Amino acid sequence: MPPASKKDCSIILFDLASKSRERATQALLKICCNNFFIDSKDLTKLILLNSDVTENRLAAHHDGYDHINEIAKDVMVYNPSVILEMIENSGTGEANWLEGLQVAVKSLKEEYEDIGGIVTFQLLFITDLVSPLAKNWGGTQPWQVPLGIGSQIQIPAQTMKILNDTVQCKLVSSQGRFGQTIWIDAEDESIEIPPEDVKSGVMRHEKFIEMPDNKMFQSQTPRSFSILCFTDSANVPEYLMRGGGCYCVLPNGTDEKNEAFNILVDRLAEQNKYVIARRVYNNNYLPKIVALVPKPDHNPKCFYLNSLPFADDVRLGYKERSLDAAPRTEVVTEVYDFLDSINIDSDRSVRTANLGINMMQDSNAQKIINKAADKLFDKYVKLEEVDTDLLEAPTGRTVEGLKNVWAERTLAEVKKEEDKDDDNSDNDFDW
């Protein structure tokens, strides 16, 4: 049996609600036509995001994943006519693009599992990423607690997780459970302290205060979500938003009650300010301090929520050592010389050929594909519009830059060099 032909496989996630849908369709058709007219063996599958139909492998087993349509039931070769028909005959809905990516990744993993000869797996997402957040999306973890301001004002709100936090690695003993805990003297580790002589407590003002239990460290507050203050966004840099997942705080009332929520989002965005809030997820849970980032352009208007660190979260005041104390390494000049020789922008570049401006693009092949696509669809599909960025005529500044990199030579100079190379004069030989 001959070996399986080598092929690339892909999943194409196409956003039907893109504001530049016509341009996105042209880009997709150009990809399909490039593969179709060279009789490629590559395989693909089309998934529609923001479709009026919900039909995908995750919606049947999980909540959510609405308006995501695996319209192509099986993988297929790139057929521009079939793919264009799928797009033109589909209506639009409102989906969550993160869920669309989940469906695409799941499909990429399962569809090509039993196909041999695959070189690469590709996921192509064609979108402008301005699709609104679904109004009724329940998220993965809805939390129905109003946003409080002071002791009298309660704004209906719901908090939903849109990204899980990263679970760090955990140490596991190869011998099962750890052994029995023992207590030793801090100054002399050879001295073991009996457990009945160990007392719990804290040091305050150079005095030891015994604490028979740890109740004072436990939280006894009901679940709540309250605003502590407002601050300029410059006071909350991104590196302080250290994780705990990413949440979205949405209005959760009637249109009249949501007016206060929307006004709060708009005013904070206008003043470039964030909310610092205290969040207790459940009764007797430890509180967390969070930052709320206003997002007035979303539909509906909302806040992004991220956890902020407590002082106790910074456990070690690490100080960078001076660079003067760093170990010295020997510089291998040959490496830098080689990199300079292949860098055409370097004065030390070694150029062995005079390249022309059009030697790095095959514009004729692209023009042929564009004309063939017009014949295939029996209409002018304007595929050359998506070629503009790559194949447009160089500007005057670009031409001048190329001239500076590769020196021009006249035809006479080239002819002179050719004649010199072809010179077979007997004068070079000693008879």
Q: What is the pLDDT along the chain (431 residues), one digit of tens a residue?
A: 556 667 888 999 999 988 888 888 988 998 888 888 877 888 999 999 999 999 998 988 888 889 999 988 888 888 889 999 999 898 988 888 888 999 999 998 888 888 887 878 889 999 887 655 444 444 556 788 999 998 888 899 998 877 655 544 555 666 666 567 888 888 888 888 888 888 888 888 888 888 877 776 666 778 899 999 999 988 887 767 765 567 889 998 888 889 999 999 999 999 999 999 999 888 878 888 889 999 998 888 999 888 887 665 555 555 667 777 777 777 778 878 877 776 656 677 665 544 443 433 456 667 777 888 888 888 888 887 776 544 444 455 555 555 555 555 555 655 555 555 555 444 443 43
pLDDT attached to residue 202: 81
Residues 160 and 289 in one domain: yes
Please, are residues 383 and 370 in contact by the beta-carbon 8 Å criterion? yes
Residues 151 and 297 in one domain: yes
- Domain final residue pick, 263, 291, 313: 313
Residues 159 and 303 in one domain: yes
Residue labelled with tokens 């004068």: 427
Residues 42 and 77 in one domain: yes
Residues 232 and 115 in one domain: no
pLDDT attached to residue 354: 44
Spatial CA neighbour of 138 closest among 48, 252, 230: 252
Task: Identify whether 37 is part of a domain.
Answer: yes
CATH of the domain at 258: 2.40.290.10
- Domain final residue pick, 256, 282, 313: 313
pLDDT attached to residue 134: 47
pLDDT attached to residue 344: 57
Spatial CA neighbour of 132 closest among 364, 302, 331, 362: 302
Residues 161 and 273 in one domain: yes
Task: Identify whether 330 is part of a domain.
Answer: no
Residues 26 and 151 in one domain: no
Task: Identify whether 347 is part of a domain.
Answer: no
- Domain final residue pick, 95, 126, 157: 126
pLDDT attached to residue 288: 86
CB atoms within 10 A of CB 98: 13
**Segments in 230-330 forming alpha helices (H):** 255-270
The DSSP 8-state label assigned to residue 411 in this structure reads H
Residues 156 and 287 in one domain: yes
pLDDT attached to residue 5: 67
Q: What domain range includes position 72?
A: 7-126
Residues 11 and 115 in one domain: yes
Encode 69-80: b = buried (16+ Cβ within 10 Å), e = exposed: bbbbeebeebeb
Residues 157 and 77 in one domain: no
Task: Identify whether 362 is part of a domain.
Answer: no
Task: Identify whether 352 is part of a domain.
Answer: no
Task: Identify whether 187 is part of a domain.
Answer: no
Task: Identify whether 67 is part of a domain.
Answer: yes
Please, are residues 262 and 301 in contact by the beta-carbon 8 Å criterion? yes
Q: Give the model confidence (pLDDT) of 153-190 as tens digits.
A: 889 999 887 765 554 455 566 666 656 788 888 888 88
Task: Identify whether 398 is part of a domain.
Answer: no
Residues 25 and 105 in one domain: yes
Residues 116 and 32 in one domain: yes
Number of domains composing the chain? 2
Dihedrals φ, ψ of 218, to 5°?
A: -95, 145
Cα 309 from Cα 239, distance rounded (Å): 10
CATH of the domain at 58: 3.40.50.410
Half-sphere exposure of 270 (CA within 13 A, CB side): 6
Strands 288-295 and 192-193 turn out to be: unpaired
